[in-house]
């Protein structure tokens, strides 16, 4: 925590860490303070924790132990260099062709803006240092580096535009991200009986239970005792890490739940979400349970997503997405809405790509998650303001927030939001933030936020260009004209209706909005010329980095499908077909024995079972051969 740093570091060094400007001498001082703090907590090892392009966390532990001195005494050593960097053998991480296998060197570098923590489990206590990861030649091989670059881009462009609008106080603009995490909890012994769950994270076949989610009785229902004791330990673990676990509840499907922390700065939110996913799995195992983070573990009931709540705030506390009480006269807010509309409309396919993975292909557009079409929901209040701007060029009224009287004196009147929710929209305005609802439960939040930050940075840059050079006395008129132009130009991206209907799919097509239904459809967008231009212009990715990621994502898709295919073959060959044949044979033998006992006895039921199962077995065998 900040308090711990303040207490343990000289003021000058503390300020250097906060400013991310650390000289070598200061790095040693910080390292000693960090070491002492960690050893007090029982740490024996340290590690940089990074997110290579497997999109999972990676760590390599080193103990604090150093060579014994002349008296044979082992010192617990930790230098500034060890704090700031490490050089792991990177050859076995995906690099998407950036480097040949024989060239192994890569580096991690401490992210000074994401809190250091200690992790305590069966292996002992480990000091964990969040870090970025790059190749020997400096290309980013991780999720964090582009995320940090995109945060800089949006900050730079945002502050520049705010200055033009007369702001003199803000020096930084940061995105706050609050990821809501959905997951399934299942019994570990039963899980281990399912090769498909173990190898692919989802059931490849099976029959639904007689009772699913049709009674709507799970959502927010009483949390089962066994899951409750898991959640209690989960919260304690998360709070110990400094992750502000806040909200928990049962989700729609049986065995499905959600946890959400309080939002934080994007890179911290991304690191925390990875740690949260690791912790979900670890704590579940301790309770004889398994946490499934796959987007669609079971057919026939809802799958799991991750909602990326996202807002832009300045370092002096202005949330750009929070309208004033009268949004019809809030020029800055209207400009920001125009900016988000432009960014989302122009880079819809990139956002779609950022939500793509093989698991999420089972959800998007399948009547439980937003469709694969990107649109924005603004709600009645802001939508109303935008409609007026489209129609007459300005807005002069808006639906006020009000009180909702339940009509019973026993309950207090409710402070009502000016806008209802829309759970079918992939990109919904929720009062002071946007909720990007398309993401899959297993995904890192890094990619979508790289896209959001960069797309918005570009829109901000273009707005700046349009207003640059305007005389101060003309600025107000120029801003109004810009708002009008932007909102009118990008109005097609606004959709306030039900996104789950076929009518919307048709309408979206008429509007010229894209509907890329699968990961292979979406991924090529990543290397489209205009997106390469966008990312390189804002120094978020180099061209090589973009191509390497494209390679890795495609390869990951192909390999995932291949693992599913091999698992299917194995289960069919080893379990399924033998069981079908065995039962058919058992029924046949029984029928014959019955007939031998009572002459002329009809065994039509047995015969039809034997016939049906034998035919099924033949079909299965033929299909397995085909699949192979
Ligand atoms: P819902 O009711 O949509 O399920 P939750 O309460 O589960 O919402 O989660 C909402 C998330 O949004 C939380 O992580 C919360 O901290 C986050 N959040 C709240 N305000 C902001 C904001 N201004 N910017 C970003 N995230 C926010
Ligand atoms: Mg929620």
- Ligand 1 mutation pick, 244, 309, 319, 420, max ligand atoms within 8 A of CB: 309
**CA distance readout (Å), 515 to 140, 165, 346, 370:** 30, 37, 14, 12
- Mean pLDDT for the chain overall: 94
Distance from residue 403's CA to the centre of ligand 2 (Å): 23
Place 66 in a pLDDT band, splitting at 50, 70 and 90: confident
- Measured CA to CA, the distance from residue 370 to residue 373 in angstroms comes to 8
> Which residues have any ligand 1 atom within 6 Å of their CB?
176-178, 180, 247, 260-263, 309-311, 319, 432-433
Q: What pLDDT score does 418 carry?
A: 84
Can you give the C-alpha Rg of the chain in angstroms? 28
Instruction: For residue 147, report the distance from its CA to the centre of ligand 1, in Å.
Output: 20
- 176 pLDDT above the threshold of 80: yes
Q: What mean pLDDT comes out for the span 366-377?
A: 86
User: Distance between CA atoms of 275 and 126, rounded to whole angstroms?
Assistant: 14
Rounded to the nearest 5°, which phi and psi values hold at 94?
-60, 135
Give me the phi and psi of 347, to 5 degrees please: -120, 30
417, pLDDT greater than 90: no
Q: Looking at 407-416, 457-466, 541-550, which range is the least confident one? A: 407-416
Q: What is the pLDDT of residue 568?
A: 96
Q: Which of 53-57, 261-265, 370-374 has the highest mean pLDDT?
A: 261-265
Report, as an integer, the average pLDDT of 156-172.
Answer: 96
Please name the residue whose Cα sits nearest to atom 4 of ligand 1. 180
Chain segment 431-444, per-residue pLDDT in tens: 999 999 999 999 99
Q: How far is the CA of 259 from the centre of ligand 1 (A)?
A: 11
| CB neighbour burial string for 326-361, b if at least 16 within 10 angstroms, e if fewer | ebbebebbbbbbbbbbbbbbbbbbbbbbbbbbbbbb
Protein residue with its CA nearest to atom 8 in ligand 1: 180
- What average pLDDT does this structure show over 146-150? 98
Residue percentage of the chain with pLDDT more than 70: 99
Report the atom number in ligand 1 closest to the C-alpha of 309: 26
Q: How far apart are CA 594 and CA 604, in angstroms?
A: 12
At residue 66, the 3 state secondary structure works out as coil
- Residue 102 confidence (pLDDT) above 70: no
Residue 260 Cα, ligand 2 centroid: separation in angstroms?
A: 7
Ligand 1 mutation target, pool 433, 437, 441, most atoms within 8 A of CB: 433
Collapsing DSSP to helix, strand or coil, 281 comes out as helix
Contact 545, 139 (CB under 8 A): yes
Residue 204 has pLDDT above 70, yes or no: yes
Residue 368 has pLDDT above 80, yes or no: no
Q: Phi, psi (5° rounding) for residue 122?
A: -55, -30
Distance 134 CA to ligand 1 centre (A): 32
pLDDT at 439: 96
Instruction: Please give the Cα distance from 396 to 391 (Å, whole number).
Output: 12
pLDDT at residue 97 in the model:
79
> For position 421, what pLDDT does the model report?
81
Structure tokens at 494: 């606004």
pLDDT greater than 90 at residue 124:
yes
Q: Please state the rounded mean pLDDT for residues 139-167.
A: 96
Average pLDDT score over residue span 181-209 = 96
68: CA distance to ligand 1 center in Å?
A: 51
Mean pLDDT of 173-194: 97
Per-residue pLDDT at 101 exceeds 80: no
Cα(288) to centroid(ligand 2), Å: 26
Q: CA separation (Å) from 510 to 341, 492, 513, 514, 517? A: 19, 10, 8, 10, 17
d(CA 536, CA 547): 12
Nearest atom, ligand 1, residue 430 CA: 3
pLDDT reported for residue 76? 81
178 CA: nearest ligand 1 atom? 14
Backbone φ, ψ for residue 104 (5° rounding): -105, -25
Structure tokens at 424: 């079918």
- The H or E element containing residue 247 is strand 245-250
Separation of alpha carbons 80 and 84, rounded Å: 6
Q: Residue 525's CB: how many other CB atoms inside 10 A?
A: 21
pLDDT for residue 422 is more than 90? no
Point out the ligand nearest to the CA of residue 260: 1
Dist. CA 258 → ligand 2 center (Å): 7
* 419 confidence band (pLDDT: 50, 70, 90): confident
Neighbours of 492 (CB within 10 A): 14
Q: Given a cut of 90, is residue 103 above it in pLDDT?
A: no
- Helix residue ranges, H only, 301-368: 331-346, 348-354
pLDDT at position 483 over 90: yes
Nearest ligand to the CA of 320 is 1
- Which residue stretches of 165-224 are H helix? 188-192, 195-200
Category of 221 on φ-ψ map: left (φ > 0), alpha (ψ -120 to 50) or beta:
beta
Classify residue 408 as left (phi > 0), alpha (psi -120 to 50) or beta: beta
Identify the nearest ligand to the CA of 423 by its number: 1
Average pLDDT over residues 377-398: 96
Best mutation site among 173, 249, 260 for ligand 1, i.e. most ligand atoms within 8 A of its Cβ? 260
- Identify which of 173, 175, 180 to mutate to test ligand 1's pocket (most ligand atoms within 8 A of the CB): 180
pLDDT of residue 104: 75
What's the pLDDT tens digit per position in 536-577?
999 999 999 999 999 999 999 999 999 999 999 999 999 999
What is the number of H-type helices and E-type strands within the chain? 20, 18
Gap from CA of 9 to ligand 1 centroid (Å) = 34
Distance in Å, CA 231 to ligand 1 centroid: 19
- The DSSP element (H or E) to which 547 belongs, if any, is helix 543-571
Mean pLDDT, range 478-507, rounded to an integer:
94
Give the helix, strand, coil percentages of the chain, each rounded to 5: 50, 15, 35
3-state secondary structure of 467: helix
Extract the runs of DSSP E, i.e. beta strands, from 297-409. Answer: 306-314, 376-377, 402-404
Q: Please provide the distance, in angstroms rounded to a whole number, between the alpha carbons at the two ends of the chain.
A: 54
Closest CA to 618 of 581, 585, 590: 581
Residue 403, both tokens: 């009180």
The closest alpha carbon to 236, from 287, 293, 288, belongs to 287
Given ligand 1 and candidates 154, 176, 177, 178, which is best to mutate, with the most ligand atoms within 8 Å of its CB?
Answer: 178
275-302 average pLDDT score: 97
Proximal ligand: closest to the CA of 257? 2
CA 406, 411, 415, 421 dihedral sign is negative
CA distances (Å), origin 573, targets 204, 303, 420, 570: 14, 28, 52, 5
pLDDT at site 423: 82
Task: Specify the higher pLDDT residue, 480 or 407.
Answer: 480
């Amino acid at each position: 925590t900040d308090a711990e740093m303040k207490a343990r570091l000289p003021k000058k060094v503390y300020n250097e860490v906060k400013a991310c400007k650390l000289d070598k001498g200061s790095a040693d001082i910080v390292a000693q303070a960090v070491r002492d703090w960690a050893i007090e907590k029982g740490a024996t090892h340290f590690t940089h924790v990074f997110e290579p392009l497997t999109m999972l966390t990676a760590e390599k532990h080193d103990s604090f132990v150093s060579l014994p001195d002349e008296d044979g005494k082992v010192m617990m050593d930790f230098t500034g260099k060890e704090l700031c960097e490490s050089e792991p053998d990177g050859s076995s991480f995906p690099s998407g062709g950036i480097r040949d296998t024989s060239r192994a060197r890569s580096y991690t570098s401490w992210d000074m803006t994401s809190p250091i923590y200690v992790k305590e489990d069966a292996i002992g206590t480990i000091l964990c240092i969040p870090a970025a990861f790059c190749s020997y030649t400096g290309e980013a091989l991780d999720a964090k580096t582009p995320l940090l670059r995109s945060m800089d881009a949006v900050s730079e462009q945002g502050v520049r535009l705010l200055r033009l609008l007369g702001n003199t106080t803000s020096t930084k603009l940061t995105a706050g991200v609050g990821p809501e995490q959905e997951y399934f909890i299942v019994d570990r012994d039963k899980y281990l009986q399912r090769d498909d769950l173990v190898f692919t994270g989802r059931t490849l076949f099976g029959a639904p239970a007689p009772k699913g989610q049709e009674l709507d009785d799970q959502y927010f229902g009483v949390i089962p005792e066994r899951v409750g004791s898991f959640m209690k330990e989960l919260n304690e673990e998360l709070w110990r890490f400094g992750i502000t676990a806040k909200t928990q509840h049962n989700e729609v499907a049986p065995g499905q739940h959600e946890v959400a922390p309080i939002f934080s700065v994007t890179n911290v939110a991304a690191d925390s979400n990875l740690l949260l996913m690791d912790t979900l799995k670890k704590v579940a195992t301790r309770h004889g349970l398994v946490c499934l983070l796959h987007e669609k573990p079971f057919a026939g009931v809802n799958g799991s997503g991750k909602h990326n709540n996202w807002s832009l705030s300045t370092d002096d506390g202005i949330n750009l997405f929070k309208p004033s009480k009268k949004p019809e006269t809030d020029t800055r807010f209207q400009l920001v809405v125009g900016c988000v509309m432009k960014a989302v409309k122009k880079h819809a396919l990139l956002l779609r790509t950022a939500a793509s993975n093989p698991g999420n292909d089972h959800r998007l557009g399948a009547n439980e998650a937003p469709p694969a079409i990107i649109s924005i929901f603004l709600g009645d209040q802001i939508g109303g303001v935008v409609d007026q701007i489209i129609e007459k060029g300005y807005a002069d009224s808006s639906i006020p927030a009000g009180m909702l009287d339940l009509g019973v004196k026993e309950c207090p009147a409710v402070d009502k939001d000016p806008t209802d929710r829309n759970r079918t929209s992939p990109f919904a305005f929720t009062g002071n933030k946007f909720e990007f609802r398309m993401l899959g439960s297993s995904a890192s939040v890094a990619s979508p936020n790289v896209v959001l930050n960069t797309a918005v940075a570009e829109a901000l840059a273009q707005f700046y260009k349009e207003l640059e050079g305007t005389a101060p006395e003309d600025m107000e008129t120029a801003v109004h004209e810009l708002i009008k132009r932007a909102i009118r130009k990008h109005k097609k991206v606004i959709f306030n209706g039900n996104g789950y209907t076929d009518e919307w799919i048709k309408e979206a097509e008429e509007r010229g909005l894209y509907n890329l239904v699968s990961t292979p459809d979406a991924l090529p967008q990543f290397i489209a010329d205009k997106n390469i231009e966008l990312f390189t212009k804002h120094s978020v990715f180099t061209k090589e980095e973009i191509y390497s990621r494209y390679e890795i994502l495609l390869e990951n898709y192909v390999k995932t499908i291949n693992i599913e295919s091999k698992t299917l073959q194995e289960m069919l060959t080893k379990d399924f077909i033998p069981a079908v044949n065995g039962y058919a044979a058992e029924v046949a033998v029984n029928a014959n024995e019955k007939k031998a006992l009572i002459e002329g006895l009809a065994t039509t039921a047995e015969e039809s079972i034997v016939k049906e199962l034998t035919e099924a077995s033949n079909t299965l065998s033929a299909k397995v051969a085909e699949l192979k």
